[in-house]
């Protein structure tokens, strides 16, 4: 009797590849808050089982075609959010095969599996890396796409692939090009946990907390106000909200589309380092270092398109809030997860 009552209220199932990862897990929380049921598909190589808290977990690898076909047929999701993939620029230069295999071949298997179940709409995580080096202040979706590393090339390849699958199999999709995802869940239930960590904010926090030696500043001779690279840091909770909006847009019958997701404000590496020192309450020891290969001088989003079509706006992406939530998670992670990777031995990247 009671089950009959709930039959009509069953939640929409959303398949989330890479849902055990950083942005994926925050999006699962947002999906759950929005009344949907995320089902995570993840090989747990980069993702964490502890980060899957808001729905089921199907452990599997997109390179295992039979497995993703089986999961798609079993779950029959109404929508899909596709995060799974590798995302380190430097590694993609030294090991391009890993990127083409995981990011591109893996996505072919996923899209084929979705075609078997009548092409539910897909939200795809792309990256502003696809723009390469630009000379515009604010990057809109109309700026030419010219990746300068294999990681960016694989993201561009999947964007093209999605268009082709739409023509052949009616697979509607939204491409989200993120700028620099940062910060952590306000409740500190989940957060950024890469191993090894390569991102600026967690490394600067580790350095300020005394868990790492001096933070290397990669390049102090860029043509910016203080000589360091400028990036657009977008809070992961704002990114998660954009995914839910993009998905709802497609579930409501919207056409395929493409959006940049950033805060629309640029901060230099030194400005970020200063904010970390202020919020942690102890200055970040730094050491000037050579430029990191593949780093463009400046990447800042024009966010007008997402604001207009998705009615999305970043509300958590003030730099101090990004750093404060990242710092809170850093402390929680040590306590709650007894995370050994935060020791100086693990985080010493010098």
Residue appearing with tokens 């798609």: 72
Our CB check for ligand UFG shows the closer of 174 and 261 to be: 261
| Binding status of residue 215 toward ligand UFG by CB under 6 A | yes
CA triple 252-258-146, angle to 5 deg: 165
CB of 58 to ligand UFG, least distance (A): 25
**Contacts with ligand UFG: how many residues (CB under 6 A)?**
21
| Binding status of residue 263 toward ligand UFG by CB under 6 A | no
| Binding status of residue 203 toward ligand UFG by CB under 6 A | yes
| Binding status of residue 205 toward ligand UFG by CB under 6 A | no
Q: Which residues have CB under 8 Å from 237's CB, separation 6+?
A: 26, 30, 183, 185, 186, 316, 325
- Burial code (b: 16+ CB inside 10 Å, e: under 16) for 314-329 equals bebbbbebbbbbbbbb
Q: What are the Cα distances from residue 210, in Å, to 206, 284, 288, 333, 342? A: 6, 9, 18, 16, 11
Report the run of H or E that residue 174 belongs to, with start and end: strand 173-178
CB of 37 to ligand UFG, least distance (A): 28
CB of 187 to ligand UFG, least distance (A): 23
- Enumerate the β-bridge partners of residue 12: 36
- Binding to ligand UFG by CB under 6 A, coded x per residue (else -) over 17-56, reads ----------------------------------------
Measured CA to CA, the distance from residue 55 to residue 32 in angstroms comes to 8
| Binding status of residue 275 toward ligand UFG by CB under 6 A | no
Are the beta carbons of 252 and 259 closer than 8 angstroms? no
Our CB check for ligand UFG shows the closer of 56 and 288 to be: 288
| Binding status of residue 198 toward ligand UFG by CB under 6 A | yes
H-assigned helices in the chain? 2-7, 22-33, 65-75, 89-94, 96-99, 106-116, 150-169, 200-208, 236-251, 269-280, 304-309, 319-336, 344-347
| Binding status of residue 292 toward ligand UFG by CB under 6 A | yes
CA triple 241-205-274, angle to 5 deg: 90
Name which of residues 83 to 122 contact ligand UFG (CB under 6 A).
87, 89
| Binding status of residue 299 toward ligand UFG by CB under 6 A | yes
Residue 151 annotated among the catalytic residues of the structure? yes
Our CB check for ligand UFG shows the closer of 200 and 244 to be: 200
Name which of residues 228 to 247 contact ligand UFG (CB under 6 A).
229, 231
CA atoms within a 13 Å half-sphere pointing along the CA-CB vector of 141 = 17
CB of 133 to ligand UFG, least distance (A): 12
Backbone angles phi, psi at 331, to 5 degrees: -70, -40
Query: Per the residue annotation, which of 131, 151, 267, 330 is the catalytic one?
Result: 151
| Binding status of residue 125 toward ligand UFG by CB under 6 A | no
Measured CA to CA, the distance from residue 29 to residue 62 in angstroms comes to 23
Counts for the chain of helices (H) and strands (E), in that order: 13, 14
CB of 153 to ligand UFG, least distance (A): 12
| Binding status of residue 200 toward ligand UFG by CB under 6 A | yes
Q: Which stretch binds ligand UFG (CB under 6 A): 5-13, 108-116, 195-203, 339-347?
A: 195-203
Among 50, 100, 218, 339, binds ligand UFG (CB under 6 A): 218
The residue ranges that bind ligand UFG (CB under 6 A) are 87, 89, 127-129, 179-180, 198-200, 203, 215-218, 229, 231, 269, 292, 295, 299
Q: Catalytic amino acids? A: 151
């Amino acid at each position: 009797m009671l089950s009959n009552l709930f039959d009509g209220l069953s939640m929409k199932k959303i398949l989330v590849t890479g849902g055990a990862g950083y942005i994926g897990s925050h999006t699962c929380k947002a999906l759950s808050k929005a009344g949907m049921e995320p089902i995570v598909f993840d090989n747990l190589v980069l993702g964490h089982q502890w980060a899957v808290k808001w729905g089921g977990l199907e452990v599997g690898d997109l390179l295992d075609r039979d497995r993703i076909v089986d999961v798609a047929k079993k779950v029959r999701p109404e929508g899909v959010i596709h995060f799974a993939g590798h995302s380190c620029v430097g590694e993609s230069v030294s090991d391009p095969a890993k990127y083409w295999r995981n990011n591109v071949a893996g996505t072919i298997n996923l899209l084929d599996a979705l075609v078997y179940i009548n092409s539910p709409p897909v939200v795809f995580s792309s990256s502003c890396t696809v723009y390469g080096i630009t000379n515009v202040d604010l990057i809109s979706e109309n700026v030419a796409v010219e990746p300068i590393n294999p990681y960016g090339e694989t993201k561009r390849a999947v964007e093209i692939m999605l268009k082709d699958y739409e023509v052949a199999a009616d697979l509607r999709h939204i491409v989200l090009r993120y700028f620099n995802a940062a910060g952590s869940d306000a409740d500190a239930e989940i957060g950024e946990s890469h191993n090894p960590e390569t991102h600026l904010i967690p490394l600067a926090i580790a350095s300020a907390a005394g868990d790492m030696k001096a933070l290397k500043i990669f390049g102090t001779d860029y043509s910016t106000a203080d000589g360091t690279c400028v990036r657009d840091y977008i809070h992961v909770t704002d990114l998660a909200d954009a995914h839910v909006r993009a998905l709802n847009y497609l579930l409501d019958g919207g056409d395929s589309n493409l959006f940049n997701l950033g805060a629309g404000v640029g901060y230099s590496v030194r400005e970020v380092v200063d904010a970390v020192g202020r919020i942690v309450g102890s200055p970040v020891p730094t050491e000037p270092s050579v430029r990191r290969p593949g780093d463009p001088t400046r990447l800042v989003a024009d966010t007008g398109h997402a604001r207009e079509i998705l009615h999305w706006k970043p509300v958590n992406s003030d730099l101090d809030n990004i750093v404060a939530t990242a710092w809170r998670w850093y402390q929680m992670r040590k306590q709650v997860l007894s995370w050994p990777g935060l020791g100086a031995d693990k985080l010493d990247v010098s």
